[in-house]
Structure 1
Amino acid sequence: MYVEDVVAVNLWFLRHRERSGLFNVGSGRAQPFNDVAHATLNALRAQRGEAPLTLAEQVQSGLIEYVPFPEALIGRYQCHTEADLTALRATGCDVAFADVETGVHRYAAWLAGQ
């Protein structure tokens, strides 16, 4: 979840004070946590003027390594999240949310400017 999207939703509710409640916020698209690592590495590469790598290339080069999944977490861990935006959209809130890659690239660019 990209922080500017959360801010946009909060500002929308400030402009529509007649609506309130607790709502899921997110892109509404399932993306595995693996996408965060992949996007982060490519955002850093972009800042150095380097071409993006595919996930397979990142794994082959050792930039991403996988470890065995802990047995204690089998059946208790979700490999991705997906926000149900039904209630939020029912309020009329039409804020568009960034996908993982877009949010990571924006955040990395912001960090680079600090």
Structure 2
Amino acid sequence: MSPGPDGLHPRVIKEMMEELLQPLRILFESSFQEGNIPEDWHIAYITAIYKKGSKSEPGNYRSTVLQLIRVLDGWTEIIDDRQAVDIVYCDFMKAFDRVPHKRLLEKSI
């Protein structure tokens, strides 16, 4: 895990959780009530994470450039229409590695 655009390492944020909770709550509520998002909140680092196989093959990463472009394009349209974008990240890495694929296919038919 590496620092985001703010330069803070996630460990620092986790260890300072109690101290940061109230100020962040105030910031989020204020932003929500005013309908205004600070410019710094529009910045994100998106990194393709290596899975396995050849590192020179784009398909061996969890996020491909094309996927990121499509997602960002959709988010941009929504934000341009002054609507909110809620994002939930789920890591399904190896979720189906332990499932008997033959049995799974039989159940889907």
Max radius of gyration: which structure? 2
Q: Shared fold (TM-score greater than 0.5)?
A: no
Normalised by the length of structure 1, the TM-score is 0.26
Normalised by the length of structure 2, the TM-score is 0.26
Q: Which has the higher contact order (CA 8 A, sep 6+)?
A: 1
